[in-house]
Amino acid sequence: MARPKAGEIDRSNSTDKVEKILQGAMQEFLAHGYAATSMDKVAEAASVSKATVYSHFQDKQGLFRALIEKLARKRFHSILGTQPLYGEPYVVLRRLAKTALDQMVNDQEYQAFERLLMGESARFPELAQVFIASIAKPAIETISKYLASCAELNIPDPEATARILIGSLVHFVITQEIMHGKNIMPMESDRIIDALTHLIVNCAD
C-alpha cells in the first residue's frame, strides 16, 4: 500500500487545522459575540497556537468571513444541490421549500449564528453583507433562473418571486424559532410550504 506523499500529509494537516480553527471560532463567536471574541480565545478553543490561527487567517474579520462562507456552502449545497434546478414546478418548489425549512428549523447552530449576525449587523455591517452575498444572493439567482425557465408559469418577475419565496421561509423561521414565537402564533410548516407553492404555480391562472 502506497504511503501518502509529504505534500499530501501537509495539506491534510493544514485542512484539519483549518477545520479545528473554524469550529473553535464558531464556539467562541456564538458564546461571546463578534466584538468580545479574540484570536487568543479562538486559538485556545481550537487547541492550536495563536500563530497557527494567524497563519491561516489574517485577522478576526477574515476568520469570521471564512466561517460565513463555509456555512453558506453547506447550506446552499444541501438545499439547492450542485446542479441547476430542473423538473415539474410544483414538485421542485415544494421539495425546495420543505428542505430549506426542515434544515433551518432543525439546525440550532444555524439559528444561533443568525441571531449573532442580526445582533452584530449594526456595528459590523460588512460582515452581514458577506452573509447576504454568500447565501441569499446565490439562492435568489438560482431560483430566479429556474422560475424564468418555466414558461408555463408565466411569471412576470422571476427575481421578485424568488425573493418572496425565500423571504417567506426565512420570516417563518425568524418568527417561529429565532424570536421564539411559535407558542404565540403557531403554524405547521407544511401550511406555509403548500401556500407558497400554490401561489407561485397557480399565478398564471
Are 96 and 80 in contact by the 8 Å Cβ rule? The answer is: yes
Q: At what angle do helices 39-46 and 60-80 cross, to 10 degrees?
A: 60
- 16: burial class by Cβ within 10 Å (0-12, 13-18, 19+)? exposed
Residue-level pLDDT at 9: 46
Tens-digit pLDDT string for the chain (205 aa): 455 554 544 555 678 899 999 999 999 999 999 999 999 999 999 999 999 999 999 999 999 999 988 888 888 888 888 788 999 999 999 999 999 999 999 988 888 988 998 888 999 999 899 989 998 999 999 999 999 999 999 999 999 999 999 999 999 999 999 999 999 999 999 999 999 999 999 875 5
Neighbours of 105 (CB within 10 A): 17
Query: Whole-angstrom Cα distance, residue 160 to residue 39?
Result: 40
Residue-level pLDDT at 82: 79
Residue-level pLDDT at 205: 54
Residue-level pLDDT at 4: 52
Residue-level pLDDT at 1: 47
Q: What is the dihedral of CA 102, 71, 148, 93, to 10 degrees?
A: -10
Query: Whole-angstrom Cα distance, residue 126 to residue 176?
Result: 27
Residue-level pLDDT at 6: 47
Residue-level pLDDT at 8: 47
Residue-level pLDDT at 15: 82
Are 42 and 24 in contact by the 8 Å Cβ rule? The answer is: yes
Q: Which has the closest alpha carbon to 75: 19, 131, 128, 123? A: 131
Q: Which three cell numbers stand for residue 56?
A: 491561516
CA-CA distances (angstroms) from residue 29 to 25, 33, 65, 155? 6, 5, 12, 41
Residue-level pLDDT at 71: 86
Residue-level pLDDT at 5: 55
The C-alpha angle 38, 42, 48, rounded to 5 degrees, equals: 135
Query: Whole-angstrom Cα distance, residue 12 to residue 142?
Result: 32
